[in-house]
Amino acid sequence: MLTQIIKNLLSSSSVIEETNLTNIGPVVVSEENVETAPTKVEPQYNDPEVIVLVHEFGPMEDGKVIEVSLQQMLKLLPRVRRRKDAYKRLVNHLLDAYGVKLVIVSRKHGKMEEGRTTCDE
């Protein structure tokens, strides 16, 4: 009968059959019969730009390096100024807040790491 109640609650139909709840006794909760499940703490991302990056590249973990082209960054997070230095504040924020190194690669000017531009040519 309990399984029928659970099925009714979880079913997607809006019609719930009447059930007889008089046969269910009181539920006793004590510390002995309570199972503690390990709780997984999900990091909270408040910045919408960080949420987009988490969706694309996975969770922000300390020591992670994300290397992405400027063209892909412009698709994910468009900027009015279409240069890699437009992402300088985001690069510094990711490094300071999450320990994530965001490397933006431009075809013309090489890589930008930690807000500084270096040329590989």
- Counting residues of the chain whose pLDDT is more than 90, the rounded percentage is 42
* Report field, pTM of the whole predicted structure over 0.75: no
Residue 118 confidence class, pLDDT cut points 50, 70, 90 = very low
Which DSSP category does 42 fall into? P
Reduced to 3 states, what is the DSSP secondary structure of residue 108? coil
Between 78 and 16, residue with greater pLDDT: 78
Residue 58: pLDDT above 50? yes
Could you read off the pLDDT of 60-113 as tens digits, one per residue? 999 999 999 999 999 999 999 889 889 999 999 999 999 999 999 988 776 655
Residue 7 confidence class, pLDDT cut points 50, 70, 90 = confident
Q: How far apart are CA 23 and CA 21, in angstroms?
A: 6
Which residues, at least 6 apart from 40, have a Cβ–Cβ distance to it below 8 Å? Answer: none
The tokens of 31 are what?
A: 């510390």
